[in-house]
A and B are shown apart, each in its own frame.
Chain A
Amino acid sequence: MHELLLFGQVPSSRHDQVLNILAGVAAMQPVQVLEKHLVFKPNRLPASARPVQVGGAQDIQKSQVQALQAQNQGDLFYLRLVAEPSSTTLKGQGDGGLNAKVEGSDEIMLDVREANGGLVGDIQSTAPTEGDSQTWTLQYRDLPEVVQPGRRQITSRLMADIPITSGDPVQFMKALDYTHTATYLLAGHRFTHLSASILLHRLFLPAKPFQEIFNVSSKDISQARLLDPSGTYILQAAVRVQDGSKVETMTKGSLELLSLKETLKGVVELDMGDRLALDTRVR
């Protein structure tokens, strides 16, 4: 999937005004967003652990080994785990609910996937949840594509959001040999305008280490410290395109984003993000 993006900044004194304007533009009330982001950095295999090539060019390698080597030589990317409290938690009723984590064997996982609604309900009722009613998503973002001068000034990048349906995502990342490097909370409001998703948000650094923030709540936010001490909000407008190789849909998406930029002219100046600042490669 591809993502087309524009960014803008809103001083905190103008937040309410912009929120009102966006509500008018999108013809909807803002939806509150509260996300916990964990940033993971992949560990490069130490040189000694790499499979040593012996036997020169004639060496016949197993395809598996070849794939592994290719991976080692290629770029490694940061990954993000994003936890979003389910809608029930956000309303303050947080107890298990629809997005309950199923603590169980692979067998149950398979069952859940193949099950119809009734069976899912059964498992939820039998497997007690520990109040963990948040949904996890593994997010991958590529380095944005190079924009030729004269082309549309929009950030475009390959992306993937993988919903995690069960298991411990943090353990999973450890098993993949990724190190957790940072935690932040993203709080703000989301609007949907035609195909564009508009997110007006701020980033917070939690006071507690990330393990303790099991459920993200507005209480954590009140204890957290703003990443940007000036309290400036970030406005992100995004359009997702299923197939980035289709020029037609990409053009349509970009044009929509640019017309939104035009609409918001004078309210917020939307611009493309700095390509290197959005770099997710490990160096």
Chain B
Amino acid sequence: MATISPKEIQTLDYTRQRLAQLTNSLDSLKNQILASDPLPPWSSLHTLSQMISVNLTRVAEHLTEHSALLSSLAAYPLPSYPGREQEPLLNQLLRKKLEPHVEDWVEEGRRAGEEVGDAEGWMELWEWAGREETLEEVVKGGGGGGEDGEKEEEEVDDEGGDGVVGETGQGTGTLQGKGEEDKEPMAMEEVLRFLMKGEEVKR
């Protein structure tokens, strides 16, 4: 049996800290959801979810960095360990396989990951999630992206819109896509003047 160096103990301790932080943030999210009715405010949910994702990333980074050490380690109790009093903890420490319900979680997570993992799933997700953001960009004077980017965004926008409105959206929709985007909109006054008198302002 090789003894572990203080540096390796430090790594282990660091793992413990990271995991503790992660459990803490998960706990506080759980508590907030349980405590407030109907739901905690949007902003606090957002902050918590960001904290959790930061913690998750740190844990994952740490685990991959020290994977060689961590996977080679094995736990075994010293004779001085109070085995009788701390039996459940001892069992948990010595357990090699995951507990059945934890295995179920892992399986569930893996399946969820596979679902969004394929290209189609990502497209679907982005059509749903990326829409508002891209729209905002289009509205902000044509956005900062290149031409191609803008066109893509528009397509996404169109598809999303038709789906909800149904067939009525098609009537006038045929004329979009003519590259009208580049032009400045007409002044409201000019349009109104035309509505009233039919005099077109030559530009």
Contact = CB atoms under 8 A, between A and B. Distances in A.
Interface of A: 7, 9, 11-17, 19-20, 23, 29-32, 34, 37, 39, 41, 78, 141, 181-184, 187-189, 202-203, 205, 218, 221-222, 226-232, 234, 273-274, 277-280
A221 B186 contact: no
Contacts of B180: 12, 226, 229-231
Which of B169, B172, B191 has the largest count of A CB atoms less than 10 A from its CB? Answer: B172
Given A16-B161, A230-B180, 8 more contacts: A11-B181, A14-B135, A16-B169, A17-B135, A19-B169, A229-B183, A274-B192, A279-B197
B79 interface: no
Contacts of B166: 29
B139 A7 contact: no
Contacts of A188: 172
A182 B189 contact: no
Given A273-B192, A277-B192, A13 B138 contact: yes
B91 interface: no
Interface stretch (B36-44, B67-75, B152-160): B152-160
Interface residues of B, number: 40
B129 interface: no
Interface of B: 135, 138-139, 154, 157-158, 160-162, 164-166, 168-169, 171-176, 178, 180-181, 183-186, 188-200
B196 A232 contact: no
Contact of B191 (A14, A15, A228, A231): A228
The interface residues of chain B, by DSSP majority, are classed as: helix
Q: Which 7 residue pairs spanning A and B have beta carbons closest together?
A: A16-B161, A182-B198, A39-B198, A231-B180, A232-B185, A230-B183, A228-B186
A30 to B, nearest CB: 5
Which of B135, B175, B181 has the largest count of A CB atoms less than 10 A from its CB? Answer: B175
Contact of A17 (B161, B175, B181, B192): B161
Contacts of A12: 176, 180-181
The interface residues of chain A, by DSSP majority, are classed as: mixed
Contacts of B185: 9, 11, 228, 230, 232
Contacts of B162: 16
Contacts of A9: 185, 188
